[in-house]
Amino acid sequence: MTDPQSFPSPEVQTAWSGRFAEPVSDLVKRYTASVFFDQRMWRQDIRGSLAHARMLARQGIIAAADLAAIERGMATIVGEIEGGTFNWNLDDEDVHLNIEKRLTALVGDAGKRLHTGRSRNDQVATDIRLWLRDTIDVIDPLLRNLQEALLTAAETQADTPMPGFTHLQVAQPVTFGHHLLAYVEMLGRDRGRFADCRVRLNRLPLGAAALAGTTFPIDREFVARELGFDGICENSLDAVSDRDFAIEFCSAGALAMTHLSRFSEELILWMSPRVGFIDLADRFCTGSSIMPQKKNPDVPELARGKTGRVFGHLMGLLTLMKGQPLAYNKDNQEDKEPLFDTADTLVDSLRIFADMVPGIRVKPEAMAAALRQGHATATDLADYLVKKGLPFRDAHEAVARAVRACEDKACDLADLPLAELRAFSALIGEDVFAVLTVAGSLAARDHVGGTAPSQVRAAIDRARKHL
Ligand code: ARG
């Protein structure tokens, strides 16, 4: 469907126009319609309708022949939508009425019987839950793919020293592999959050009808099983009005985008010629139309930027639900575009990152050079003195004085000769140079969660087993 403004507006009979003395204006029609965005739930809508129709036939509410006609009509509609010949019509408001109307045109009265014991209120709630469940099942493997790409890169870089930063100041040596593993952890939590959201959303609202339930002898458990739900929504009012799952989804999406934006920021920083730790493959960058020398990290910059719209969607949905009285209100139609855009933004970002990570070219010399400039092993020297019996606070003080002396001489701690080092503590001996080296510093952090290359490799193995 293209521009909603371009829809013709013949005098049509809508699904509810019997009650009204005059038609809505074109503007109101366009304002209230959702078909130009909710049509993307058509598969879920048909799946839900077929399960409902099967239940109606099983319960003797509609005839077996009606069910057969509905199934035949829906198969035709699937073909039309997939083939691009389905005529989405603004006059029929939303995806539900568009499909129902076409069904009736195809199979007659059986199509009109489909809506027995159902309302669009429980229908749309069911469709969104099905759509989000399908979407989470797309997102989880994408998160896993990105974790795998990071693990592969981390394995290659398990021994590559780089400065670890706090306050964006050189703090202590870490390996680049260890740094990348931090993102594997974040993405693992994201997967947990989406899985958790899936648990709560996987309940069937259908059967709540408009808000109070229905007078027909329906079998909700049967429909739930047909649609792969773990159970039913217990309360009909809650069933049609609850959008917690949508907020949870956007919240999980906002956090996942937060992680991608942090990673983006680091990639941008690392790729800046001032830092020069990495280079990104050309296909993720663009040039400048005026400055011939430029290679800009557009993809991470855009991911960082797109995080904003996802935050906005979360805030939009929270505000949409705040203060809404029970049960269904038309406000709820506004839940879809934020959800769709959150999913689209995250899916695209995850795909592009999984492709981008293997294209990170690491420049170990630049990382090593940066490590030589920030007294990155100062903590190691303090720890060394503690092991020789000095209380930690005194050791900290002695090393701080040594660092100040280095700053005056514009050299690094590891560059001071032994005699000068001993001026800050007589406990310092020849063995100090083993701890002042980057390799010694890394190897010494040899425990679970530490940056020693052997620990990084063990962490990669554990993470692979969990994926
Ligand atoms: N298009 C509507 C939505 O997205 C479907 C439910 C409409 N129900 C109603 N009573 N108007 O929420």
Please report the DSSP string for 275-335 in residue order: T-SEEE-GGG-B--SS-TT--B-HHHHHHHHHHHHHHHHHHHHHHHHTTPPSS--GGGGGG
Domain boundary among 368, 395, 414: 368
pLDDT at res. 12: 59
Q: Which has the closest alpha carbon to 439: 171, 177, 174?
A: 174
Task: Please check whether residue 274 lies inside any domain of the structure.
Answer: yes
Handedness of CA 222, 226, 232, 236 (dihedral sign): negative
Known active-site residue 17: no
Judge if 76 and 133 occupy the same domain.
Answer: no
Domain boundary among 332, 353, 368: 368
What's the total number of domains in the chain?
Answer: 3
Return mean pLDDT, the chain.
Answer: 95
Ligand 1 centre distance from Cα of residue 375 (Å): 63
Cα–Cα distance for residue pair 438/171, rounded to 1 Å? 12
Share of residues in the chain with pLDDT > 90 (%): 90
Active-site position among 167, 289, 447, 466: 167
Query: Residues 31-56: what's their mean pLDDT?
Result: 98
Is the separation of the CB atoms in 365 and 281 below 8 Å?
no
Query: Residues 354-381: what's their mean pLDDT?
Result: 95
Task: Please check whether residue 354 lies inside any domain of the structure.
Answer: yes
Known active-site residue 34: no
Task: Please check whether residue 5 lies inside any domain of the structure.
Answer: no
CATH number at residue 317: 1.20.200.10
pLDDT at res. 2: 43
pLDDT at res. 18: 81
Per-residue pLDDT reduced to its tens digit, 254-285: 999 999 999 999 999 999 999 999 999 988 88
Judge if 404 and 362 occupy the same domain.
Answer: no
Ligand 1 centre distance from Cα of residue 329 (Å): 8
Q: How confident is the model at residue 1 (pLDDT cuts 50, 70, 90)?
A: very low
Closest residue to atom 2 of ligand 1, CA basis = 333
Per-residue pLDDT reduced to its tens digit, 121-166: 999 999 999 999 999 999 999 999 999 999 999 999 999 999 999 9
Task: Specify the pairing of strand 231-232 against strand 203-204.
Answer: parallel
Judge if 338 and 387 occupy the same domain.
Answer: no
Judge if 87 and 134 occupy the same domain.
Answer: no
Cα–Cα distance for residue pair 36/270, rounded to 1 Å? 42
Domain boundary among 333, 368, 403: 368
Ligand 1 centre distance from Cα of residue 124 (Å): 7
CATH number at residue 460: 1.10.40.30
Task: Please check whether residue 65 lies inside any domain of the structure.
Answer: yes
Ligand 1 centre distance from Cα of residue 125 (Å): 9
Closest residue to atom 12 of ligand 1, CA basis = 333
Q: How confident is the model at residue 25 (pLDDT cuts 50, 70, 90)?
A: very high
Kindly tell me the burial class for residue 389, based on how many C-beta atoms sit within 10 Å of its own C-beta (0-12, 13-18, 19 or more): exposed
Lining ligand 1 with CB less than 6 A are: 34, 38, 94, 120-121, 124, 328, 330, 332-333
Residue 21 has pLDDT above 90, yes or no: no
Please give the backbone phi and psi of residue 273, each rounded to the nearest 5 degrees, phi first. -55, -25
pLDDT at res. 11: 54
CATH number at residue 58: 1.10.275.10
Per-residue pLDDT reduced to its tens digit, 440-452: 999 999 999 999 9
pLDDT at res. 294: 82
Provide the residue range defining the domain that includes 362. Answer: 121-157+171-368
Judge if 230 and 254 occupy the same domain.
Answer: yes
Residue 434 has pLDDT above 90, yes or no: no
- Considering only residues 5 and 130, tell me which one the structure prediction assigns the higher pLDDT: 130
Active-site position among 9, 17, 25, 288: 288
pTM over the 0.75 mark: yes
Judge if 435 and 412 occupy the same domain.
Answer: yes
Task: Please check whether residue 8 lies inside any domain of the structure.
Answer: no
Task: Please check whether residue 14 lies inside any domain of the structure.
Answer: no
- From the alpha carbon of 335, which atom of ligand 1 is closest? 4
Judge if 196 and 336 occupy the same domain.
Answer: yes
* Amino acid, single-letter form, for residue 63: A
Judge if 327 and 389 occupy the same domain.
Answer: no
Residue 4 has pLDDT above 80, yes or no: no
Task: Please check whether residue 202 lies inside any domain of the structure.
Answer: yes
Per-residue pLDDT reduced to its tens digit, 163-199: 999 999 999 999 999 999 999 999 999 999 999 999 9
Task: Please check whether residue 132 lies inside any domain of the structure.
Answer: yes
Judge if 240 and 351 occupy the same domain.
Answer: yes
Judge if 307 and 443 occupy the same domain.
Answer: no
Cα–Cα distance for residue pair 413/402, rounded to 1 Å? 7
Per-residue pLDDT reduced to its tens digit, 306-355: 999 999 999 999 999 999 999 999 999 999 999 999 999 999 999 999 99
Judge if 303 and 180 occupy the same domain.
Answer: yes
Judge if 109 and 133 occupy the same domain.
Answer: no
